[in-house]
Structure 1
């Protein structure tokens, strides 16, 4: 969970906004593994997050200047981008559940 997510979560809790919603902890609980690949000769890093149900979500990153490429940073950014996609998927699922209730 990022510091921005922590601050937002604290604000939501302080305001008593506790209707059904997604939380950073929920998003993280969906992830069971992460795999990374850097394409040879490029700065393109791909992160594949496997979710509890077996679905795979991907995120990418690429340095504009090869001189600035750092594999660790590339993995962090690709992971963050893949994780962001989970919010959308889980949000859709929650909305479906709420509509059916």
Structure 2
């Protein structure tokens, strides 16, 4: 069912993709290898790092969404089985989708609380 069909049939308040996007204040992406390098960077006094991370970590994409209320949501794409199939943009897209999937229940809870008067 498409978003348009859902919107047409809705007879009560609901969470929409636009609500999800509006809840996001910022988004950040990095690979697990970049995260490991960041940890090493903080630990080395002279700030000279040689990337010795396993190649597999270069294919793990992490998306961190910071919501307007400060909540941080993390989505991870583990990458392809074959390194030749790795595409950073696809990794970002799937990592973001996994993060977005976690926002739906949070906004649903918030809406239900408002509708029940518990949020008043």
Scaled by the length of structure 1, what TM-score is found? 0.83
C-alpha separation in 1, matches of 2:4 and 2:101? 19
Cα offset for 1:55? 1.0
Cα offset for 1:20? 1.2
Corresponding residue for residue 18 of structure 1: 11
Cα offset for 1:12? 2.5
Across the two proteins, how many residue pairs are aligned to each other? 94
C-alpha separation in 1, matches of 2:83 and 2:7? 43
C-alpha separation in 1, matches of 2:100 and 2:72? 11
Corresponding residue for residue 4 of structure 1: none
Q: Structure 1 stretches (4+) deviating beyond 4 angstroms?
A: none
Q: Select which of 72, 75, 88 maps to 2:89.
A: 72
Contiguous gaps of at least 5 residues in structure 2:
34-54
Cα offset for 1:99? 2.1
C-alpha separation in 2, matches of 1:88 and 1:65? 33
Q: CA RMSD in A?
A: 1.6
Scaled by the length of structure 2, what TM-score is found? 0.71
Contiguous gaps of at least 5 residues in structure 1:
1-6
C-alpha separation in 1, matches of 2:67 and 2:97? 15
C-alpha separation in 1, matches of 2:71 and 2:6? 29
Cα offset for 1:68? 1.2
C-alpha separation in 2, matches of 1:92 and 1:77? 24
C-alpha separation in 2, matches of 1:100 and 1:76? 36
Larger Rg, first or second structure (1 or 2): 2
